[in-house]
Amino acid sequence: MVLSFLGEILYCILPFPVPASIYGIVMLFICLETGLIKLGDVKEVSTFLIEIMPVMFIPAAVGLIESWEIIREDVVIYVVITVVTTLVVMVVAGRITQRIIRGGKKKENEVKAHE
């Protein structure tokens, strides 16, 4: 909660178009990586949130249903944009993940070679 609150403060202070939740997630990541927060401290809550994640999409779906009259004219455009951006995100995330994994394997091989 503290990191979420700090994210809200950063959102108000910084002039960037970044949501407060992203600031909070980045700070949580940094705290986990540096050991300020232990994984065990957030594991139970994070597991619960992942389990109920589908429920979190219900309000958005209801909003789409209620806005159908407004979006009906441009639904093809919205679908195309959604598909294209989803594919771009998947490709970029996959490439970054592959590079990180390959970089980790190179370091392991270099350490083994020096031993």
Same domain membership, residue 78 and residue 42: no
What is the number of domains present in the chain?
2
On the question of pLDDT at 109 being above 90, the answer is: no
Return the structure tokens found at 35.
Answer: 């050991």
Could you tell me the CA-to-CA distances from 80 to 56, 83, 86, 88 in Å, in that order? 24, 5, 10, 12
Question: Is residue 91 located within the same domain as residue 113?
Answer: yes
Q: Say yes or no: 78 and 51 in one domain.
A: no
Per the domain annotation, does 62 fall within a domain? no
pLDDT of residue 103: 82
Phi, psi of 37 (to 5 degrees): -120, 130
Write the pLDDT tens digit of every residue in 56-107.
999 988 988 999 999 999 999 999 999 999 999 999 999 999 998 888 777 7
pLDDT digits (tens, 9 = 90+) for 12-55: 999 999 999 999 999 999 999 999 999 999 999 999 999 999 99
Q: 23, 11 in Cβ contact below 8 A?
A: yes
82 found inside a domain: yes
Domain holding 82, by residue range, is 67-115
The answer on 50 and 78 residing in a single domain is no
Does residue 32 form part of some domain?
Answer: yes
**Do 52 and 73 fall into the same domain?**
no
Query: Same domain for 45 and 18?
Result: yes
pTM assigned to the model? 0.57
Query: Both 25 and 73 in a single domain?
Result: no
What is the DSSP-derived secondary structure letter of residue 72? G
Region of 14 please: left (phi>0), alpha (psi -120 to 50) or beta: beta
Same domain? For 72 and 52 the reply is no
C-alpha 103/C-alpha 81 separation (Å) is 33
